[in-house]
Structure 1
Amino acid sequence: MRILYITQWFEPEPTVKGIEFAKALAERGHQIEIVTGFPNYPSGKTYPGYRIGFYKREVMDGIVVHRVPLYPSHNGSSVGRILNYFSFMASAALFSLFRARRFDVVCCYPPITGGLAAIFATWLSRRPFLIDIQDLWPDSVVKSGMAGTRRMEKILALMCNFVYRRAARIIAQSKGIRTRLIERGVPPEKISVVYNWADERAAAPAGLADLSPYDFGAKFNIVYGGNLGRVQGLDVMVRAAHLARQRAPDLQLLLIGDGIESENLKQLVQRLGADNVRIAPGVPRTMIGDIFAASDVLALHLWSDPLFRITIPQKTQFYMAMGRPILIGVEGEAAEYVTQAGAGVAVPSDNVEAMADAMVQLAKMPKDRLADMGRRGQEAYWRIFSFSAAIAETESAFQKAIGDARGNAA
């Protein structure tokens, strides 16, 4: 099978379906090439060693990567974000228009503008394309809080429905997203649920990170690692840790990452005088396993919103694979996997008091019970979310798309 994979984000940017995903498909005997942009996510600044140009060809671990121009941006500006998405869409579409005929199938990774690129790319070749739905547009765009997004909601909804109709197959990252797509008129037989997985090599200590800057010491360390963005609502965790300090004096909250809320969170820590909260820059994935392994609890939080009840934040799988207890401030499908596995404690989103109570509960919990939570989470990860199972299911979705297209053409 020959696969052209269009994705706005690819290594060295953090992404679930990056080079390991491509290599796994190649190892199963498939030819895969990547069409992506010049790396700039999540900071919006082009990575060292790269400069925006008309085209750059790379070979990463035997995989051919074609980089096409885009407008680099990932701040609070809706204009900048629109330029970012649509500039890549145009570049990827034009580059792939004549190249797509060399492949059996085209796959596009979110955002939905990648689906528009795939439609244009397959226009001449009539190749089938799949779209991978990680975030449900227009819902997630509107909830981002950027100015002007509500005025664009109807246009985005029409764009999404157009892509869904044209796609040969849709991959949904959760059962909840599949249900929502069906409610929007997508035929059930067109949707494959493929759960995201953890970077299983990174989800283990490697002995590469210097832990001294984090001052773990004899403290009870609750750690968040990832994007410091708006929808994460990390101010809730900061306020909760400050409140919990009264009942759990040894508790420390560590937020590791970069994002548009980084400075606001630092200012909040200063205003509160939350001296048990530390905010540190993001680290390479090769080192994050060392930091997570040294934690007592791994935490995540998202705004309270119906949209987030049907998605599974990728940190859920990574935290479970790490084998650490989980404090999850997310309602819906993700929290259900954690609590049903006995892997941690779930609290309602946006509830500072409930989050603080849970922090104290975990800080006072016996060590053997915490260890049991971590073990249960890790076992559930391998049972439900493993990389090998997801690759096999993805391969099956590609084959069905090709088979359906050939059947329709016959």
Structure 2
Amino acid sequence: MTLSRRVLFLTQWFEPEPIMKGLRFAQGLAEAGFEVEVATGFPNYPTGRLAPGYRLGPYTSEIMEGIRVHRLFLAPSHDTSSLGRAANYLSFFISALIFCVLRGGRFDAIYVYHPPITVGLAAAISGLFTRTPFVLDVQDLWPDSVAASGFGGAKRLGGVLGRMCGFVYGRAALVIGQSRAMTATLIERGVPAGKAVTIFNWADEDAARARGEFDVGSLGFEGRFNIVFGGNLGRVQDLETLVRATLLAAQDVPNIQLTLVGDGVERQSLAELIKELGTAHVQLVAAVPRTQIGDIFAAADVLILHLLDDPLFAITIPSKVQFYLAMGRPILACVRGEAADIVTGCDAGRAAAPQDVAAVAAGMVEMAGLSPEQRAGMGRRARAAYEAGFSFAAAMASTSACLERPELSR
């Protein structure tokens, strides 16, 4: 029996877009001995605008650090319009389906990055013709995450999306969950336990360190107790809670400062809220390259994350958790479930109830009240926890083992 060696990595998102499993993941597969190619869209996330250097077309290809990347047409969009987002997903689905039908048979297996589920649907339908098995990597649980996004019509689509997910799960050779709780939920929804696997995400280990490439002095950190959030400024992050909590915490910690670094659909509304509240305790900083975010995080007293108080996020580990752990800084995790348990379980920080301004403010005040030595200890334990359970090497070893399982052979 010939084991899978030629692998197509099928993902709607890829560099230069910020993605959990992108170029480094593809390179890791190549380093493990697989012949890897990528099929993805034209980069437009998170702004919805085409990335500099790209011109939209039906198809193009490029070589990125030794990896062949096929760029497939999609309708760029990432705003608050449900129609725009639907067009974005459906256009890539059609392009991916055509590509996989025409060229999927050249590969021994397809590794599908989900969301959206339409990417997995393209692999599932094309497999009816090419017989190419695929692995589904579930990073967000659908239809739950769509409903949590707040987009119009999301709840009405729940039944359709649920049936779509069931079809894709049934066609997949293996289904990977990014947390133990997510894998358990997938099994509850019909994925046979024998083809459900948990593989934790990792951090961009090269970026998760201070490199001296960003002028941190320009941020006005000196003399302040600095709490930093970095990443997508989107709906599910509900960063308005952090802004209001900072104002409340400032009553007890006058020198507190919240710095929000990034871009996303909620950036403008956050700017308007900060202006409306007239706060000098919150600042918005434009997104910076990955090579510079480590400088900002390393200068923070506390790194913070926040998600909507939704059952979905109790079984999800946002990639920010691994990155914050790898940075070796104290963490205030304003989430429920497995992500919060990871942070508190290794005593790398504290947890607070999400979407609860008073609880988040209390968490900020508590972190500020700790001694520098106590916070330094949290940072050391954070890094140790990362190395013990969430490293890139461990995840790639597990992924390689999955791709070499007999289910992935034709």
| Length-normalised TM-score, structure 2 | 0.97
Residue in structure 1 matched with residue 304 of structure 2 by the alignment: 299
Residue in structure 1 matched with residue 396 of structure 2 by the alignment: 391
Cα distance in structure 2, aligned partners of 1:379 and 1:169? 30
> Which residue identity lines up with residue 107 of structure 2 in the other structure?
F
Pair 1:321-2:326 in alignment: yes
Cα distance in structure 1, aligned partners of 2:150 and 2:77? 16
Q: 1:107 aligns with which of 108, 111, 115?
A: 111
Residue in structure 1 matched with residue 126 of structure 2 by the alignment: 121
Q: CA deviation at 1:363?
A: 1.2
Residue in structure 2 matched with residue 59 of structure 1 by the alignment: 63
> Which residue identity lines up with residue 204 of structure 1 in the other structure?
R
Pair 1:205-2:210 in alignment: yes
Cα distance in structure 2, aligned partners of 1:294 and 1:258? 20
Q: CA deviation at 1:127?
A: 1.4
Pair 1:157-2:134 in alignment: no
Q: Is the 8 A contact 1:208 1:286 kept in 2?
A: yes
> Which residue identity lines up with residue 70 of structure 1 in the other structure?
L
Q: 1:371 aligns with which of 372, 376, 399?
A: 376
Q: CA deviation at 1:169?
A: 0.6
Cα distance in structure 2, aligned partners of 1:399 and 1:30? 10
Larger mean CA deviation between 214-223 and 115-124 belongs to: 115-124
Pair 1:144-2:149 in alignment: yes
Q: What are structure 2's unaligned runs of at least 5 residues? A: none
Aligned length: 405
Residue in structure 2 matched with residue 362 of structure 1 by the alignment: 367
Residue in structure 1 matched with residue 407 of structure 2 by the alignment: 404
Residue in structure 1 matched with residue 350 of structure 2 by the alignment: 345
Pair 1:87-2:88 in alignment: no
Cα distance in structure 2, aligned partners of 1:384 and 1:40? 32
| Length-normalised TM-score, structure 1 | 0.97
Larger mean CA deviation between 323-332 and 263-272 belongs to: 263-272
Residue in structure 1 matched with residue 261 of structure 2 by the alignment: 256
Q: CA deviation at 1:274?
A: 1.6
> Which residue identity lines up with residue 34 of structure 1 in the other structure?
V
Residue in structure 1 matched with residue 293 of structure 2 by the alignment: 288
Q: CA deviation at 1:121?
A: 2.9
Identity %: 52
Residue in structure 2 matched with residue 39 of structure 1 by the alignment: 43
Partner SS state of residue 99, structure 1: helix
> Which residue identity lines up with residue 321 of structure 1 in the other structure?
A
Q: CA deviation at 1:224?
A: 0.1
Give deviations 1:45-89, integer Å, cap 9, x for gaps. 000101110111100111000001000000111111111011001
Give deviations 1:286-329, integer Å, cap 9, x for gaps. 10000000111000000101110000010000000000000010
Larger mean CA deviation between 246-255 and 356-365 belongs to: 356-365
Partner SS state of residue 143, structure 1: helix
Cα distance in structure 1, aligned partners of 2:349 and 2:169? 36
Partner SS state of residue 100, structure 1: helix
Q: 1:268 aligns with which of 265, 273, 276?
A: 273
> Which residue identity lines up with residue 269 of structure 1 in the other structure?
I
Cα distance in structure 1, aligned partners of 2:194 and 2:354? 33
Higher relative contact order (CA 8 A, sep 6+): 2
Cα distance in structure 1, aligned partners of 2:236 and 2:67? 33
Give deviations 1:240-275, integer Å, cap 9, x for gaps. 111111111111000001111111111111222221
Instruction: Give every structure 1 segment of 4 or more consecutive aligned residues whose post-TM-superposition deviation is greater than 3 Å.
Output: none
Residue in structure 1 matched with residue 233 of structure 2 by the alignment: 228
Give deviations 1:309-366, integer Å, cap 9, x for gaps. 0000100000000000000100000000000100001011111111111111111211
Residue in structure 1 matched with residue 29 of structure 2 by the alignment: 25
Give deviations 1:22-49, integer Å, cap 9, x for gaps. 1111111110000000000000000010
Give deviations 1:115-172, integer Å, cap 9, x for gaps. 1111233232211111110000000001100111111110000100000001111111
Cα distance in structure 1, aligned partners of 2:102 and 2:277? 57
> Which residue identity lines up with residue 94 of structure 1 in the other structure?
I
Q: Is the 8 A contact 2:108 2:408 kept in 1?
A: no
